[in-house]
Structure 1
């Protein structure tokens, strides 16, 4: 499966390096020399990558000058990732592992109430976007509200807190 790992921001210098806006937790792995990435619709090899002033600079095979690097500006960079690949930690998940999981309440684990449709990475914390009926609800992805994620059963357990999955119910509680 192709996963977006970055976006080419701009050219750097005259030898064809590009700056990458990183969209992965593993830039050292995804942009390692010799790795293959898709830039737009084109498959390319990473020749080198390095950090410079807090940014990731990448040299791609075939991009030998500033003009060629500038032609790539704004393109997304994706990488082939095994869908079964895990983070290696039981309390961390890739977005692709969470999207599609059924959402159940802690008080009724056998009755799905929604489905995770996206993960949003906001400054304060991550949020799960849960489709409940015809509306999307954002649930802060913190242990106090989402006590468990079970990839084997395909479920995310959410606490049964009035208003969490039904914002209209929050007004009734007050």
Structure 2
């Protein structure tokens, strides 16, 4: 199983022991506001996030974002389909605003382009989630467009902003921590 390391973090497979913390942050209204998972999150609904599936396997593969000392901060995900993948990142509220999401996403992108030889990564977000839009831009993603009122989410029609990053763009200079 792939574990990625950064100066402060380890991105490792989620374990059953992580699930109560995952349920807690996924049920936090501020964390869940722009996310697509059904509410309320329960131990049963998040149990499928525990998997020995290697990063780069087809479909969504989650990794716990932990401090090197082991404290769970959130999770990142890669949804690989052929030579492309969608990325996602979620952090518990106390872990936000400290650069952990940038560090974790940077490590995931580096692995996706370097070890998995993917051609393109993309992310789909609610454009009201300005903090994640800024994060994606800092990592090197570019805004590719927004579909207006394109999906029904938590009782309202919601816009969908798409961001993309090519391996060739990452190689040309998008790979530096900023």
Q: TM-score, normalised by structure 2?
A: 0.28
Give the structure with higher Rg (CA): 1
Could you say which structure has the higher helix fraction? Answer: 2
Q: TM-score, normalised by structure 1?
A: 0.28
Could you say which structure has the higher strand fraction? Answer: 1
